């Protein structure tokens, strides 16, 4: 790769963050179907509805007053009618005085045996507030108004509810915090949730006690991520969700007279993930489709030397996510992923399945892991693997004969069958060689020679020496073809390889620059991992990569007599996205005429290859003794 101003040109795949437009969350106005306030009513807790709403939304008072009407018309679902009221004639216009939105808002309740449907409650006032991400505590709002935000993707972190009443009893409430669960219930004026910990509430529960519980029903609903507003919960029922890691963003509360009829939707106030079940079946050589078996049971055969040709896995529910799986098939390679209920593999083609990958999607993947193992020709049962790790073999022409699958609680670190899947304790004696550039990407070009050609020549020499030593070698390319950066790492991660070596030759604007240098990964926050988030900065991977880089660097310099430019670190894409210990080698400068004459000869390339192989063997000796 070419150097500019004496430093190595970045071989990067940079991620670009696109700024998203954020809609302002509108605070819902009190429904116009709610009872109106008379001038004579005094409330211990009053709030200017128009000013509060415009302050939280950033809208002008004029624009807000218009919105109050339209919002009320949209959400006119709080129309409350008691059995006694249904037989009472409607009130005349002079019975109730309409108050503009700027007047105080107070709690109201039904009255018995009266000509008016509703009248203001003069002795009980409910107010509540939320602690919102990046905002903190919002101003309290009253009966039926929104606390929190919508359309801003801001988590609600805590709630606080107050009540002024002459009646005995209290309002009690608690919240479920994502990854922490339900907290201890608190009462009037206390905080439920957390502040200063960046944790989101996912569900709430509110109830009344004492005389309050005899006089009123309390209704509440929540706005949660990905779902929006849910239905209304009542008197201690759960509202929100658990098990989905969906942050609660806003909530509403109000009281009505005990037993009063409402038109409120209470169909789906709470969403809770229930673990689905699995069944699966295999298509077996000379047998056909076997029976459906439950999770953890054997599908296929053992001891009969019969190949699995197809697989169908069924998930009992895909409400919260799905199951994806794919097969590595004889003569085809990796197929595309299919989902629950679909066949992976072939039917009627007499092709063996050689390897499998299974993974969950959606919220299911955040709560559960899929665990599976396979019985392989000449090997028997392999170890259990998890969450898209490869089970089986590739490139060895070995058939799968049986499989077992189980859903388990989410594990923090999936266990794979190789270092390329994050299990660095496993040694498969497989090396992945990556000849840099290729196709229309020629790399550096000097003296009528392309870097891509030299890279492939070196790969072939190193490959031959490793295979002669008994190792299996997998390569990115075997000819002058272009392979993008991410697919290089994807191929390596699916290969069961123990380590990854990317081969390059260097270039600089200075014709005097010369020598060999080896790189391993360094994390740069501005270049986040695209496909290797779990392992890119794993301490064990970095430690092993550093050892491998130093071992190869020392051996290559010693064997060739080239200048030692040392072991360096960078965030090159192939180093960042590869799960196994990985190094990128710069084996000499094409821009230096003297060094160019060396690196283009077969004799010098043999010395380089011997040095690289010596470093790789030193790595295996160090980590397998």
Structure tokens at 486: 């991410």
Q: Is 545 helix (H, G, I), strand (E, B) or coil?
A: helix
Domain residue ranges in the chain: 125-272, 278-409, 419-624
The predicted pLDDT at position 118 comes to 35
The predicted pLDDT at position 415 comes to 66
* pLDDT tens digits, 226-251: 999 999 999 999 999 998 889 999 99
Q: Is it the case that residue 218 has pLDDT exceeding 70?
A: yes
Rounded average pLDDT over 351-380? 93
Structure tokens at 87: 């037989």
How far is the CA of 161 from the CAs of 142, 174, 186, 221, 273, in angstroms? 10, 11, 10, 14, 28
Q: What's the number of CA atoms in the CB half-sphere (13 Å) around residue 69?
A: 6
- Phi, psi at 80, each rounded to 5°: -110, 130
The predicted pLDDT at position 421 comes to 80
Containing 468, the helix (H) or strand (E) segment is: helix 451-468
Rounded average pLDDT over 23-41? 34
Q: Is 456 helix (H, G, I), strand (E, B) or coil?
A: helix
Rounded average pLDDT over 147-162? 97
Average per-residue pLDDT in the chain?
83
Mean pLDDT is lowest, of 23-27, 101-105, 331-335, 413-417, for 23-27
Mean pLDDT is lowest, of 410-414, 529-533, 572-576, 598-602, for 410-414
The predicted pLDDT at position 363 comes to 86
Smallest CA-to-CA distance from 273 within 222, 202, 223, 341 is with 202
What pTM was computed for the model? 0.51
Q: Is 348 helix (H, G, I), strand (E, B) or coil?
A: coil
Q: Please state, in angstroms and rounded to a whole number, the distance separating the CA atoms of residues 494 and 580.
A: 10
The predicted pLDDT at position 616 comes to 98
Smallest CA-to-CA distance from 333 within 344, 322, 347 is with 344
Q: What is the 3-state secondary structure (H, E, C) of 125-149?
A: EEEEEEEECCCEECCCEECCCCEEC
Q: Please state, in angstroms and rounded to a whole number, the distance separating the CA atoms of residues 61 and 279.
A: 59
Smallest CA-to-CA distance from 520 within 578, 584, 564, 577 is with 584
The predicted pLDDT at position 184 comes to 95
CB contact set of 173 (below 8 Å; sequence gap of 6+): 159, 161, 185, 186, 187, 192, 204, 205, 206, 207
* pLDDT tens digits, 483-538: 999 999 988 988 889 999 999 999 999 999 999 999 999 999 999 998 888 899 99
Q: Is it the case that residue 75 has pLDDT exceeding 70?
A: no
Q: Is 462 helix (H, G, I), strand (E, B) or coil?
A: helix
Q: Is it the case that residue 33 has pLDDT exceeding 80?
A: no
How far is the CA of 233 from the CAs of 217, 253, 549, in angstroms? 10, 10, 60
Rounded average pLDDT over 1-7? 42
Confidence of residue 290 (pLDDT cuts 50, 70, 90): very high
Please give the residue that has the higher pLDDT: either 483 or 96: 483
Fold (topology level) of 419-624:
Aminopeptidase (3.40.630)
The predicted pLDDT at position 579 comes to 94
Report angle CA 601, 603, 606 to the nearest 5 degrees.
110
């Amino acid at each position: 790769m070419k150097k500019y101003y004496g430093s190595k040109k970045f071989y990067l795949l940079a991620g670009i963050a696109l700024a998203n437009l954020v809609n302002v969350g509108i605070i819902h106005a009190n429904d116009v179907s709610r009872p109106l306030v008379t001038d004579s009513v005094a409330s211990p807790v009053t709030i200017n509805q128009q000013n509060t709403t415009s302050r939280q939304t950033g809208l002008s008072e004029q624009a807000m007053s218009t919105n109050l009407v339209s919002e009320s018309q949209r959400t006119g679902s709080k129309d409350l009618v008691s059995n006694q009221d249904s037989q009472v004639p409607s009130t005349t216009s002079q019975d109730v005085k309409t108050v503009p939105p700027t007047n105080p808002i107070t709690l109201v309740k039904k009255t018995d045996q009266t000509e008016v449907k509703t009248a203001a409650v003069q002795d009980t006032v409910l107010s509540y507030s939320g602690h919102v991400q990046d905002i903190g505590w919002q101003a309290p709002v009253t009966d039926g108004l929104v606390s929190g935000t919508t359309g801003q993707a801001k988590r609600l972190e805590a709630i606080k509810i107050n009540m002024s009443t002459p009646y005995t009893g209290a309002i009690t409430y608690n919240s479920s915090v994502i990854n922490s669960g339900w907290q201890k219930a608190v009462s009037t004026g206390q905080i439920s949730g957390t502040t200063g910990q960046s944790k989101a509430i996912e569900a709430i529960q509110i109830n009344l006690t004492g005389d309050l519980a005899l006089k009123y029903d309390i209704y509440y609903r929540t706005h949660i991520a990905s779902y929006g507003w849910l239905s209304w919960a009542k008197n201690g029922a759960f509202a929100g969700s658990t098990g989905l890691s969906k942050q609660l963003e806003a909530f509403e509360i109000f009281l009505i007279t005990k037993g009063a009829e409402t038109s409120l939707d209470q169909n789906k106030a709470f969403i809770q993930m229930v673990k689905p079940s699995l069944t699966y079946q295999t298509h077996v050589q000379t047998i056909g489709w076997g029976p459906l078996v439950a999770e953890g049971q054997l599908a296929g055969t053992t001891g009969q030397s019969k190949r699995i040709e197809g697989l169908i896995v069924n998930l009992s529910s895909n409400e919260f996510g799905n199951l994806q799986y794919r097969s590595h098939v004889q003569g085809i390679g990796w197929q595309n992923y299919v989902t629950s209920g679909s066949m992976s593999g072939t039917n009627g083609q007499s092709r063996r399945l050689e390897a499998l990958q299974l993974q969950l999607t959606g919220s299911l993947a955040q709560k559960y892991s899929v665990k599976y193992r396979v019985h392989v020709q000449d090997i028997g049962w392999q170890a259990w693997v998890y969450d898209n790790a490869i089970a089986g073999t590739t490139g060895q022409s070995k058939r799968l004969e049986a499989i077992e699958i189980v859903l388990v609680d989410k594990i923090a670190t999936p266990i794979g069958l190789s270092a390329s899947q994050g299990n660095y304790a496993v040694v498969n004696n497989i090396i992945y060689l990556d000849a840099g550039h290729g196709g229309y990407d020629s790399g550096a070009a000097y003296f009528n020679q392309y870097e891509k050609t030299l890279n492939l020549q070196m790969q072939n020499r190193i490959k031959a020496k490793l295979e002669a030593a008994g190792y299996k070698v997998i390569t990115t390319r075997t000819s002058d073809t272009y392979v993008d950066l991410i697919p290089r790492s994807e191929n390596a991660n699916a290969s069961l390889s123990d380590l990854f070596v990317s081969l390059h030759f260097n270039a600089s604007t200075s014709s005097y620059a010369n020598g060999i240098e080896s790189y391993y990964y360094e994390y740069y926050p501005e270049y986040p991992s695209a496909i290797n988030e779990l392992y890119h900065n794993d301490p064990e991977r970095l430690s092993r990569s550093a050892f491998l880089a130093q071992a190869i660097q020392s051996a290559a310099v010693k064997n060739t007599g080239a200048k030692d430019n040392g072991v360096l670190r960078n965030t090159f894409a192939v180093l960042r996205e590869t799960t196994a210990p990985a190094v990128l080698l710069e084996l000499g400068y094409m821009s230096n005429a003297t060094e160019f004459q060396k690196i283009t000869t077969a004799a010098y390339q043999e010395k380089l290859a011997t040095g690289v192989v010596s470093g790789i063997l030193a790595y295996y000796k160090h980590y397998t003794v």
